[in-house]
Amino acid sequence: MKETHSAHSEEKCTSYTYGNNPLPTALGISILLLLSVFMPLASAQESPYIVTYDHYLEEPGNLEVEYFSTLGTQRGGDEFLAYWVELEYGAKAWWTTEFYLDGQTTFSDSTIFTGFRWENRIRPLEREHFINPVLYLEYEQINEADKIIKEVEGHDIEADHAVPNAIARQTLDHELEFKLLLSKMFKGWNVAVNPLADKNLSPSNPWEFGYAIGASRPLALKASAKSCNFCPENVIAGAELYGGLGDTQSFGLHETSHYLAPAVAWNLPSGWTLRLSPGFGLNDNSHRLLLRWGLSREFSGFGEMVGRLFGGHP
Amino acid sequence: MKPAARVHRVVVALSVSAFVAFGIYDAFAQRGDSEATEHDHLHHHHLAEFAKVPNQARIRHNPLETDRDAVAAGKKLFQQHCAECHGTTAEGGKKAPNLRAEEVQQATPGTLFWILTNGVVRRGMPVWSKLPEPERWQIVTFIKSLTPKTASPSGGQINSGPLATTHTGSQR
């Protein structure tokens, strides 16, 4: 939710600046390397989605460390590279909790840390159903220079990201975001629909709405007998469609942005997952291109390790 | 203090409290039971799920029962997705029961497929419907190919030897 920018001192701006060594990148790579050395790996079967969620949660006790980048084109401003690290933990088989750190580099401008998010996904139903719902609740504390575009909501448009970092980062937003994650598997296809509602906690801001829809399928439905990197069952391909739906004061498609993004995930037997997704803006309010890629790895036994720190038996 | 800042502090305080409370609860929950009792509960709770399998699912035929690659492919998938909890020899672990137990080996392929698809979410087993249906049948074929072995009273891995029949492709 964008607010009107007010003039602030340059001294205040520096409190959110991490120079040219952005926290999410450094932290993400450090955690990935550290855990790769000390913790057992778990094999993942990750979907290719970057914005959409299906109904599958993290396996209990496992920690997944993910690093993502988005290269965005910008009319009326400088292109940018936004990045974030996700620490996703399976607290229970029915509850996944996730912590994000966001940052961005706007070319010819600066590199800054833009905030954090805490996300929770809860599966209310015990078994698989015709459509499987998951409840999603996220708290965000991000400044308005955040450009990861993890979701599009309300009247978010490309022009919001043309504001120079020195000005945009001065406005800090506290937001609560609710999503209903609906997902279904059918003959190897996953179809997921995520309506969302977002509230900036400033009283004057309206509720904002958005959507994400995804469909994906592995290239092969049967596993081959041998372990292989290039087996078709390791590759899941699909597409996402996401955008804003206005707010309580102006609901609809007027002044909103929308994207269509083919996406592919390559799940390697070594436990690494690579994702690639070029997203194309569907109207003049959208960035022309959002090129995203991600690298993730899942580690088993993280919960037990933390349990031992609290005094539980190994 | 501005309302937004107050809400922010409350949210952060609640988040930290929830994490700490969860960690302490989990640690004490782990201390509460002896390993043997814990394992017995685990075994019985999971096996109790068999009774919940609908008849229609129970009698489903395994379409890959005679597929000559299904055991090897199922073994590969098992090691990737299941061994972390059920153990590399499928004899169970602290989190999941012995799949060589008589009750499991006597269960119909349809029963195992249903459990794999729906998980035992409240007992910690995730749903595995994200694996395509043929891959789930490959895992079932592999599990049914294992040599039955009774669980040790204290649970855990009583025999860490190689999977006896996984290379033979023998199926029931």
Which chain B residues are closer than 8 Å to A54 by Cβ? 130
Q: Check: CB of residue A120 under 8 Å from CB of residue A97.
A: yes
Averaged pLDDT for residues A254-283:
96
Predicted pLDDT of residue B168: 36
Inter-chain CB proximity A310 and B23 less than 8 Å: yes
Task: Tell whether A271 is covered by a domain.
Answer: yes
Inter-chain CB proximity A201 and B77 less than 8 Å: no
Residue among A93, A203, A226 whose CB faces B119 most closely: A93
Q: What is the pLDDT of residues A17-29, one digit of tens each?
A: 444 556 677 777 7
Q: What is the pLDDT of residues A40-94, one digit of tens each?
A: 666 678 999 999 999 999 999 999 999 999 999 999 999 999 999 999 999 999 9
* Nearest CA distance, A74 vs chain B (angstrom): 31
Residue among A118, A139, A223 whose CB faces B138 most closely: A223
* Nearest CA distance, A99 vs chain B (angstrom): 11
As separate numbers, helices (DSSP H) first and strands (DSSP E) second, chain B gives 8, 0
Task: Determine the structural domain holding residue B9 and report its residue range.
Answer: 1-32
Which chain B residues are closer than 8 Å to A123 by Cβ? 121
Both B143 and B87 in a single domain? yes
Task: Determine the structural domain holding residue A275 and report its residue range.
Answer: 10-309
Predicted pLDDT of residue B22: 54
Radius of gyration, CA atoms only, chain B: 20
Both B91 and B18 in a single domain? no
Q: Check: CB of residue B168 under 8 Å from CB of residue B142.
A: no
- Reference A275, options A284, A266, A283; nearest CA is A266
Burial class of residue B3, CB neighbours in 10 A (0-12, 13-18, 19+): exposed
CATH assignment at residue B113: 1.10.760.10
Inter-chain CB proximity A128 and B117 less than 8 Å: yes
Looking at the 3D structure of chain A, how many domains does it have?
1
Q: What is the pLDDT of residues B7-62, one digit of tens each?
A: 556 656 666 566 555 544 554 444 444 555 656 666 666 678 888 899 999 999 99
Q: What is the pLDDT of residues B140-163, one digit of tens each?
A: 999 999 988 765 444 443 333 334
Return d(Cα B172, Cα A170) in angstroms, integer: 67
Strand A235-247 to A258-267 pairing: antiparallel
Predicted pLDDT of residue B21: 56
Both B55 and B94 in a single domain? yes
Averaged pLDDT for residues B105-125:
94
Indicate which of A56, A117, A127 best probes the interface with B, i.e. most B CBs within 10 Å of its own CB.
A127
Predicted pLDDT of residue B161: 35
Which chain B residues are closer than 8 Å to A300 by Cβ? 84
A311 pLDDT band, cuts 50/70/90, is low
The mean of the pLDDT values for chain A is 89
Task: Tell whether A314 is covered by a domain.
Answer: no
Task: Tell whether A270 is covered by a domain.
Answer: yes
Residue among A185, A227, A303 whose CB faces B129 most closely: A185
pLDDT at residue A179 above 90?
yes
Predicted pLDDT of residue B123: 87
Coil, helix or strand for A245? Answer: strand
Task: Tell whether A3 is covered by a domain.
Answer: no
Residue among B4, B77, B122 whose CB faces A223 most closely: B77
Predicted pLDDT of residue B3: 55
Both B111 and B170 in a single domain? yes
Which chain A residues are closer than 8 Å to B28 by Cβ? 312
Task: Tell whether A29 is covered by a domain.
Answer: yes
Inter-chain CB proximity A123 and B121 less than 8 Å: yes
Both B125 and B140 in a single domain? yes
pTM for this model (two decimals): 0.82
CATH assignment at residue A171: 2.40.160.40
Looking at the 3D structure of chain B, how many domains does it have?
2
Specify the amino acid at residue B16.
Answer: V
Both B84 and B120 in a single domain? yes
Both B47 and B117 in a single domain? yes
pLDDT at residue A37 above 70?
no
pLDDT at residue A186 above 90?
yes
Both B125 and B46 in a single domain? yes
Specify the amino acid at residue B91.
Answer: E
Question: B115 to chain A: nearest residue by CA?
Answer: A127
Both B70 and B155 in a single domain? yes
Both B93 and B12 in a single domain? no
Provide the H-helix boundaries in B33-149. 35-48, 55-58, 70-81, 83-86, 102-106, 109-118, 133-144
Q: Check: CB of residue A119 under 8 Å from CB of residue A137.
A: yes
Percent over 70 (pLDDT), chain B: 60
Task: Tell whether A273 is covered by a domain.
Answer: yes
- Reference A84, options A293, A297, A302; nearest CA is A293
Count the neighbouring beta carbons within 10 Å of the beta carbon of residue B153: 9
Inter-chain CB proximity A94 and B121 less than 8 Å: yes
Question: B18 to chain A: nearest residue by CA?
Answer: A97
* Nearest CA distance, B53 vs chain A (angstrom): 11
Which chain A residues are closer than 8 Å to B24 by Cβ? 310
Both B24 and B82 in a single domain? no
Both B88 and B164 in a single domain? yes
Predicted pLDDT of residue B112: 96
Predicted pLDDT of residue B49: 83
